[in-house]
A and B are shown apart, each in its own frame.
Chain A
C-alpha cells in the first residue's frame, strides 16, 4: 500500500521561508513530485526528485532522502501569491500513476 503524510496547514509571513515536509511509505518508488494548487484551479508542477539530494529552482527547492522516505519543499522569499495548497505525490515503481498526500495549505500573511 501507499501512505503519504504532510501537515494540513502552515502559516508564514511575507518574505520569510517555509519548509513543507512529506513522509511516505510506498510499495515501490520511482520519483516524488511537488505540485502547487490554488483554490479552484489545476495542480501545477513545481519539482521532481528521483535521486537523493536537493533540487533548486528559483525560490523553490525540493529535497529527497529515499532511505528515510522523506522529502521537503522549501519556499523562500514568500510572496502573497504563494498562498495555496502544496501537494506531495509519489510515483510507484510499477505504473505511472501518482499517489498524493492530503496537501498542505500555506497561508502567507503580510
Chain B
C-alpha cells in the first residue's frame, strides 16, 4: 500500500513538555527504525524493532527517550521532559526483512520537532 507515514509532521513543544511521535510503517514490514536528523546533518540511528521486539536501542541519547511497537506494526517514539537539544527531524524507516537481510529501508517524511 502506501509508504511510511508519520504524525504529526510538525510539533512545537515547550521545554519540559512530553511529546509522542507516531510512525506507520509499510504494511507487512518486519523491521522498523527510528533516526534523528539535525539540520544539515545525516540521520543518526536511535533504535530498531523486529516485529514488536526492540532489538537495539543503543542510539537513544538519554533515558528521556522511549520507543515502543506493541503489536509489531505502529510505533511511537516518546520524549519526556523535552530539552532544546532535542529539536531535530525524527525519521522512521521500515524494511521487509529482519536484520541481516539485504532489504532497503524506506523512510517516512519525518516529524520536525522544535523545542522552545
- Residue numbers of A with Cβ under 8 A of B are 4, 30-31, 33, 35, 41-45, 48, 50, 87, 89, 95-103
Chain A residues with CB below 8 A from B100, complex form: 30, 96
Question: Chain B at the A interface: mostly helix, strand, loop or mixed?
Answer: loop
Within 8 A of A (CB), among B1-60: 3-4, 31, 33, 35, 40-45, 48, 55-56, 59
CB atoms of B109 and A41 under 8 A apart? yes
- 11 additional A-B pairs beyond A45-B106, A97-B48, beta carbons within 8 Å, are A45-B104, A45-B105, A50-B102, A96-B100, A96-B101, A97-B45, A98-B33, A98-B45, A99-B45, A100-B35, A102-B40
Chain A residues with CB below 8 A from B59, complex form: 97
20 cross-chain CB contacts under 8 A: A30-B100, A31-B102, A33-B105, A42-B91, A42-B107, A43-B91, A44-B107, A45-B106, A48-B102, A95-B99, A96-B48, A96-B95, A96-B100, A96-B101, A97-B56, A98-B35, A98-B45, A100-B35, A100-B42, A103-B41
CB atoms of B109 and A87 under 8 A apart? no
For the complex, what is the distance from the CA of A41 to the CA of B3, rounded to whole Å? 13
Given contact pairs A43-B91, A96-B99, A101 touches B42 in the complex (Cβ within 8 A): yes
